[in-house]
Amino acid sequence: MRRTVKTTAAAFTLFELLIVLAVVVILSAVAYPTIRSIVGSEYLTSGGDQVRIHFAQARNQAIRSGQTLSLRYEIAGKRYLIEPWTTGDEFLEAGMTSDTQPQVNLMGMGAVEKERNPNHVIEKLVGQVHTLPEDITFAGSVQSFDARQAVLGDASFNELTEVAGLQSATDGIVGTWSDPILFYPDGSTTQAEVRLANDTKQAFVMVRIRGLTGVTYVSNVVTVDELQQLDIQRATSQNQ
């Protein structure tokens, strides 16, 4: 007679499955803030690098073209725009007077150059609305007083500068826009610190540009407490 052997397949009970599921949920809940922080820091750094690169490109373009450029960003928003900053000097150089000056459009001398050269193509850098990475917004900036900006916009020095700095493509875009950060043909810029924040407004990076040299760099990611401490230290040193 042949002997038959019965085998029983091992299996998890419902209780055991529930325990495993509970452990997975707990571990995910513990790890989620860390993972989110790492991803958020990467987005912040990426946004800072993007703005830094556009700062450098705007400075180089101003040097090459001989025309002052302006960068404005959307306060508490994600958008920013680089465009010519009309000083009136470009109209004098073109031999125009207050009687012959054409209507200044949103791109300053862009329309005049296009009429002279129908094949002229405005670079994507200038006149285009740029956007920060996902969940990153502009949290404000700290700018030093720029005496040249005040002089270039003073009509008493140039009768063709009445509209200098007042017309901008941002006038037609809904939102609150910052004061301009200027890039001059001599390679210098407005000295500024632009701050980017994550979606929770608890982490920041600062994109700094030195006015005299135009050198731009991005800070490490800092917390809101560290940023407040930095502002306190800066205010204290200015008052001393």
Instruction: For residue 170, give Cα distances in angstroms to 32, 82, 101, 120, 196.
Output: 39, 10, 23, 23, 20
Is residue 108 domain-resident? yes
CA distance 195 to 205: 6
Is residue 72 domain-resident? yes
Is residue 24 domain-resident? no
Residue 127 is predicted with a pLDDT of 80
- Gyration radius (Cα) of the chain, Å: 27
Is residue 203 domain-resident? yes
Residue 104 is predicted with a pLDDT of 43
CA distance 170 to 71: 10
CATH of the domain at 82: 3.55.40.10
Is residue 23 domain-resident? no
Is residue 13 domain-resident? no
In the chain, the amino acid numbered 228 is Q
Q: How many CB atoms lie within 10 A of CB 236?
A: 9
Residue 118 is predicted with a pLDDT of 41
Domains: count for the chain: 1
CA distance 36 to 52: 24
Residue 51 is predicted with a pLDDT of 96
- Per-residue pLDDT in tens (0 to 9) along the chain, 240 residues: 556 555 555 566 777 777 877 777 777 666 555 545 555 578 899 999 999 999 999 999 999 988 889 999 999 999 999 988 876 555 555 555 555 544 443 344 444 444 444 444 345 788 889 999 988 999 999 888 877 776 655 556 555 555 555 567 787 788 889 989 999 999 999 999 999 999 888 899 999 999 999 999 999 999 999 999 988 888 888 776
Sheet architecture: strand order including 79-84: 129-131, 79-84, 69-73, 181-183
Please write the tens of the pLDDT for every residue from 124-176.
788 889 999 988 999 999 888 877 776 655 556 555 555 555 567 787 788 88
Domain residues for 167?
43-239
pTM (2 d.p.): 0.69
Query: Tokens for 232?
Result: 């306190």
Is residue 107 domain-resident? yes
For residue 79, list its beta bridge partners.
131
For residue 74, list its beta bridge partners.
177
Degrees to nearest 5, angle at CA 180 with 177 and 186:
160
- Residue 8: phi and psi, rounded to 5, are -110, 125
Residue 95 is predicted with a pLDDT of 56
Residue 121 is predicted with a pLDDT of 37
Is residue 33 domain-resident? no
The DSSP element (H or E) to which 218 belongs, if any, is strand 216-218
End-to-end CA separation in angstroms for the chain:
105
Query: Tokens for 230?
Result: 């930095």
Residue 150 is predicted with a pLDDT of 66
Residue 46 is predicted with a pLDDT of 92
Residue 20 is predicted with a pLDDT of 77
